[in-house]
């Protein structure tokens, strides 16, 4: 009984320590925030327009590549939770995935063209725009972070390129436009990525030179964390 209670306390404390407090704002030093807007809103991304944006914020630097389907993550009702990594890493004490907080206000619409992308990441107290960041973010035209059209055996990768970014942005973030409605995105630690690329990449276009698709669906496990308000100043 004591072991069971202790285990519950450890799990509860771990989730509380990694959960976002309701007061942590979108766009915050030391976090990664990714947001999506309709193409009908013009060329700008108004991150303060809470009635139109879909936004995900995390402070978790994952152990491996973690994929999110836009429809899945923004159509569910929880505002905080955890998503399992797409690639599995063993021999680690940390959960293999990402803790996140959403601000979407029920805005997701399956008919909307989400081709406006906004993202922000910079180091607290040491902002170096264009230098190595903590995360690499990927944006895709297809669900499940697939790089090529799964319905076409001879799909042309240049018709629906994917984009990658692993550099620090300015406070206030960076707004981009894609030639399609983003269906999925992925987040990973940028450490190995930046080493392999000789430095960070800023909105790197990936088409015919791309590698094979990960092609694995993300699995979202949503934890209701509303009862953890007493931990509003920590993860």
pLDDT in tens, 53-110: 899 999 999 989 999 999 999 999 999 999 999 876 655 566 689 999 998 877 899 9
**Spatial contact of 129 and 198, defined as CB atoms under 8 Å apart:** no
Tell me: the pLDDT tens digits for 150-168? 887 677 777 788 999 999 9
Backbone angles phi and psi of 80, in degrees to 5? -135, 150
210-213-214 Cα angle (round to 5): 130
Judge whether residue 51 has pLDDT over 80.
no
pTM over 0.75: yes
Handedness of CA 46, 168, 85, 143 (dihedral sign): positive
Q: 145: pLDDT confidence band, cut at 50, 70 and 90?
A: very high
- Percentage of the chain exceeding pLDDT 70: 70
Query: What is the pLDDT at residue 105?
Result: 72
Name the H helices within the chain. 2-18, 70-75, 191-196
Task: Give the mean pLDDT of 15-41.
Answer: 65
Query: What is the pLDDT at residue 234?
Result: 42
Query: What is the pLDDT at residue 211?
Result: 44
Task: List b or e across 194-232, with b for residues whose CB sees 16 or more CB atoms inside 10 angstroms.
Answer: beeeeebbbebebeeeeeebbeeebebeeeebeebeebe
Question: What's the rounded Cα separation, in Å, for the pair 50 and 4?
Answer: 42
Element spanning 80, H or E: strand 80-84
Task: Give the mean pLDDT of 173-177.
Answer: 93
């Amino acid at each position: 009984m004591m072991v069971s209670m202790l285990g519950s306390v450890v799990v509860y404390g771990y989730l509380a320590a990694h959960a976002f407090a309701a007061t942590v704002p979108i766009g915050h030093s030391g976090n990664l925030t990714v947001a999506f807007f309709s193409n009908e809103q013009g060329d700008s991304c108004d991150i303060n327009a809470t009635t139109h944006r879909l936004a995900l914020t995390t402070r978790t630097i994952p152990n491996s590549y973690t994929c999110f389907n836009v429809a899945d993550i923004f159509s569910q009702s929880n505002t905080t939770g955890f998503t399992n990594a797409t690639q599995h890493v063993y021999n680690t004490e940390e959960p293999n995935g990402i803790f996140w907080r959403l601000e979407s206000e029920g805005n997701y619409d399956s008919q909307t063209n989400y081709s406006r992308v906004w993202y922000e990441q910079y180091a607290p107290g040491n902002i170096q725009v264009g230098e190595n960041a903590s995360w690499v973010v990927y944006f895709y035209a297809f669900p499940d972070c697939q790089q090529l059209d799964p319905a076409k055996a001879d799909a042309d990768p240049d018709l629906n390129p994917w984009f990658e970014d692993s550099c620090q942005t300015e406070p206030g973030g960076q707004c981009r436009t894609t030639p399609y409605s983003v269906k999925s995105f992925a987040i990973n630690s940028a450490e190995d990525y930046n080493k392999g690329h000789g430095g960070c990449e800023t909105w790197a276009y990936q088409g015919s030179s791309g590698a094979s698709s990960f092609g694995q669906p993300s699995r979202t496990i949503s934890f209701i964390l509303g009862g953890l308000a007493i931990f509003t100043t920590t993860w």
